[in-house]
A and B are shown apart, each in its own frame.
Chain A
Amino acid sequence: MSYIAKPAVNHPRAPRNKLGLTTRDYEGTVSTLCAGCGHDSITAALIQAIFELDLEPHMLAKMSGIGCSSKTPAYFVSQSHGFNSVHGRMPSVTTGANAARADLTYIGVSGDGDSLSIGMGQFAHVIRRNLDMCYIIENNGVYGLTKGQYSASADIGSIAKKGPANRQMPIDPVSTAIGLGATYIARSFSGDKHQLVPLIKGAIMHKGFALLDVISPCVTFNDHVGSTKSYAHTREFYHHVIDADFVPPATEIEAAYNQGAAMPIELHDGSKIVFRKMDKDYDPTSRAAAFSFLRDSVRAGEIITGLLYVDAEMGDMHDLSGSVDQPLAKIPFAELDPGAENLAKVMDRYR
């Protein structure tokens, strides 16, 4: 995790938002992820989105669990509090944080390991509570910090850097979230900032649980031949990595594509990943339509991206439990204390 502060140099003509802040004011410490990591692109998109939303830095809370993805809250908005919790448990911490201070904006950053294995239970239950938060899964199909084991989102047939092809069914966070009743569900690609920034903004502004599944290739452990979550084309520019301890310099793929068009990325063995934007007339308010569309796309070998489902009507956790509007942690003690007289009355019931 980074502890290297960035030099505070501001370009005099850098654009300022309504608070008079520049994107530099929303940055964090220097990333210690591998050069070219998709996660850093997501961090950049987050900074852009938060800047554009004119959020006060100290009114933002950055939450995470454990893993490469969970380190990233250190890399944006230094002036907000961050909570790097334990593996797979970010949803429960965010639930408690939100219970106490519903007035803050919560951005949770997780990964496919953190959310879909150890954290699967908490991921499911935070959806049930419709907690008001933006939940980003930086999805690369692999465990980076422990050097390249499959994650639960690895596709069937995807080949690990060492060892055989994966034969277990992947867990797809998007269709899982649709099944569980999440109220804002989107998928994007770390290499497509153009698409990502508005989706993040929507997720932050959505009142309720917003899931953003972002395909974010791991340049070190899942960027090889046969992987279904690789930046295959980087081979054209850089030498392929053999030694796991050697981290190559790399740049992110910039997937530019037109609305509605599928964009195939050809892999070394001839297989393809296809990013496709949603059709113009796709209805993101129908859970059933979203579900069947997703299922069809999986069969076709495509990765569907964009805003897939939205329900802006369902109340969040506090609506469901009937909390007062005032954030609970800000209620003065005098208003919480029932007083001596009431205690005496209570005592009379126990005689």
Chain B
Amino acid sequence: MSTSNDVVIKIATVNGTGSASANGLLLKSIFRMGVPVVGKNYFPSNIQGLPTWYEIRVSGDGHQARAAKVDLMVAMNVQTYAQDLGEVAPGGWLVYDATWPRSKLLDRDDITVLGVPLSRMCNEHFEGARSRILLKNIAYVGVIAALLDIDLQVINQLLADKFAAKKNLIESNVEAIRIGFDYASENFVCPLSSKIVPMDKTAGRVLIDGNTASGLGCVYAGATVGAWYPLTPSTSLMDAYKAFAKEFRIDPETGGKKFCIVQAEDELAAIGVVLGATWNGARAFTPTSGPGISLMTEFIGFAYYAELPAVLFDVQRTGPSTGMPTRTQQCDILACAYASHGDTRHVLLFPSNPEECFSMALTAFDLADRLQTPVFVLSDLDIGMNEWMCRDLTWNESYKPDRGKVLTAEQLESMQKFYRYLDVDGDGIPYRTLPGVHPKGSYFTRGSGHTKYGSYTEDSAAYKEVMDRLLVKWTTARSIVPGPDIEYSKFNKMAILSLGSCDGAVKEAMQILQQDSIGINYCRIKAFPFNDAVKEFISRHELVYVVEQNRDAQLRSLMILDLEVNPACLVPVLHYDGLPITAEFVTRRIREELAKGEAA
């Protein structure tokens, strides 16, 4: 049987051997052929020498989730050869470097093993150990191109775009690809029965990672201060902000920067820098991950109580503790929702792809300013560091930042007296002033007990009044945070409730289940606190599967806490091995639950 545009390629290499550029080349070539594609990087917490994998899913139907199978394995790493061989789906293919003999024990009857003497060919054609290693990895791109019928013209054009300034690099890369391509064409039946056929499904689309989109969002939101401590997998967010700010925020006359990035000594300081900056009226943010959130919690509680805006990007990775720094999870939901001691609760946003990383960055800054509180954007390693196909990010020129209730010098001048924490409008959001504006605006920002007038207190009633007013603000937050995406049919009794990077796997699973006439509704949460639409959605179903990527059902717990839903209605579907969730997992778990129900 021959298939087109439905193939999963997995490339096993050694970290630090330049395979990233080869893999990127492959991914983009397929994209430029108009075929939907997604790339996922499974890399070690290491600079050089440990095993690393790159998985490309070609999906004419546009599925973005990790596939639970591998059709074509490129086994370039002898350390993991046995494991890689085992992962290939029956009927699939394995390409290996046939320069050296392979153990006969490592064989399988149900797949096709294709040996290509990549090292030998590269040693014959190129000089220098380093370039031989790098070009060997480029050469497998040629092999795959021949096997899957990827257009060489497209690859060569990509190389020309990439190395526009380095002509000699183009030549050696083109040569390496040709070597691989020719060898495969001459020795194997090309293309394979699974191949890539040009489509027109990538127009108006980009291949971009979530951290880049978030960093770009910070620039477009008008953030001028970024503070951070490098932490995988959030580091590339600040790298992106820096690169775009350098491109768009340099004063043409003086060369001065209209932004300030502080690489702090640690995360405790990074969030302190953010709060100092927002206190002074700048839009400021910090990118981090779970361990950073742990360190920041004291200041997060301060910001909640003193009512200072802050935007935190938590690109979640596998916990607890150091966990697996280069693997993905959605394990900081509860830690962020209630970060810090005392009664605190925080607004969370859950982007499901890079496009939403961009738009939610803007939403986060607007909400933080409007609500005068920290706002968390919880993406994860899968969204943040992998390249997703999504619609072009676009910009509405009429966008005006919502800076919230900030009093001007004129307003202060006309006031009798300013009090910081009065609920003038009944929405729980007080008016604030910025330093350096007017002497009448002065107040003492403090994390200690304070009255609605802003002064220190140890008076029970005065303390409680402010704490209760913060709950009014929370109610306001509930009504203005982004609502969920809902797919609803009144004929379905069951539903899936999920968030973030589970989206692709859930949607794909729903399609698969639909083929078996299992109809399921879907609600994708975009924010915490959950607004009324979420509660309404849950109430319309007998059973709701809560699909998330952590061990302890954190989203489900938050639902029970925040909405007082009957826990029996919420069935946890939990994926937490560090790899991105698959549709196969979701369908299997739901079928298991259905079987349990039938048995009972």
A335 CB within 8 Å of chain B: yes
Interface centre among B31, B216, B277 (most CB of A within 10 A): B277
* A101 with B258: CB separation less than 8 A: no
Q: Does A158 count as interface, using CB distance less than 8 angstroms?
A: no
Bound CA span A195–B300, Å = 40
Residues A98 and B257 in contact in the complex (CB < 8 Å), given A328-B282, A343-B220: no
Give the size category of B's interface with A: 35 or more
Q: A96 touching B277 by the CB < 8 A rule?
A: yes
Tell me, rounded to whole Å, the shortest Cβ–Cβ distance linking B562 to chain A: 27
Question: Residue of A at shortest CB range from B271?
Answer: A92
The reply to whether the CB of B298 lies closer than 8 angstroms to some CB of chain A is: yes
Output the nearest chain A residue to B454 by Cβ-Cβ distance. Answer: A3
Contacting residue for B260 out of A99, A122, A125, CB 8 A: A99
Q: Quick check: B265 and A79 within 8 Å, CB to CB?
A: no
A258 within 8 A of B: no
Contact between chains at A79 and B269 (CB < 8 Å): no
A101 pairs with B262, CB closer than 8 A: no
Cβ-neighbour of A80 out of B225, B397, B435 (below 8 A): B435
Interface core residue of A58, A331, A335 (most chain B CB under 10 Å):
A58
**A222 located at the interface, meaning its Cβ lies under 8 Å from any Cβ of chain B in the complex:** no
Interface residues of A in 84-111 (CB under 8 A from B): 84-86, 89, 91-101, 103-104
In the complex, what residue of chain A is closest to B249 when comparing beta carbons? A336
A324 and B273 contact, CB distance less than 8 A: no
Interface stretch, picked from A44-52, A263-271, A294-302, A315-323, is A315-323
What is the CB-to-nearest-CB distance from B456 to chain A, in angstroms, rounded to a whole number? Answer: 4
Instruction: Say whether A84 contacts B448, CB under 8 Å.
Output: yes
User: Is the pair B256, A324 in contact by a Cβ cutoff of 8 Å?
Assistant: yes
B444 touches A74 (CB 8 A): yes
Chain B, 256-276, contact with A by CB distance < 8 Å: what is the 0/1 string? 111111101110111111111
Within the assembled complex, what's the spacing in Å between the Cα atoms of A3 and B449?
Answer: 12
A335 pairs with B280, CB closer than 8 A: no
Residue of B nearest to A56 (CB): B439
A1 and B257: CB pair below 8 A? no
A318 surroundings in chain B (CB, below 8 A): 260
What's the least CB distance linking A98 to chain B, in Å? 7
Cβ–Cβ contact B261 & A86, under 8 A: no
Q: Is A2 interfacial (CB 8 A cutoff)?
A: yes
Q: Does residue A329 face the partner (Cβ distance < 8 Å to B)? A: yes
Q: Are A1 and B456 in contact (CB under 8 A)?
A: yes
B442→A80 contact, CB < 8 A: yes
**Which of A2, A61, A89 is within 8 Å of B268, CB to CB?**
A89
| Shortest distance from the beta carbon of B277 to any chain A beta carbon, whole Å | 4
**Would A100 and B276 count as touching, CB distance under 8 A?**
yes
Q: Are B445 and A82 interface neighbours, CB within 8 A?
A: yes
Contact partners of A246 in chain B: CB under 8 A: none
A237 at the interface (CB under 8 A from B): no
Given contacts A92-B276, A95-B262, contact A325 B256 (CB under 8 A): yes
What are 15 contact pairs spanning A and B, CB under 8 A? Answer: A61-B280, A86-B447, A89-B299, A95-B273, A100-B282, A103-B436, A104-B435, A124-B265, A323-B260, A325-B256, A328-B225, A337-B220, A338-B248, A343-B393, A343-B394
Given A84-B446, A328-B282, A339-B397, 13 more A-B residue pairs with CB atoms under 8 Å apart are A80-B435, A81-B279, A82-B446, A83-B276, A83-B279, A97-B276, A100-B225, A100-B278, A101-B282, A103-B436, A121-B265, A328-B224, A329-B224
Q: Which 5 A-B pairs have the closest CB atoms?
A: A96-B276, A92-B272, A324-B256, A100-B282, A96-B273
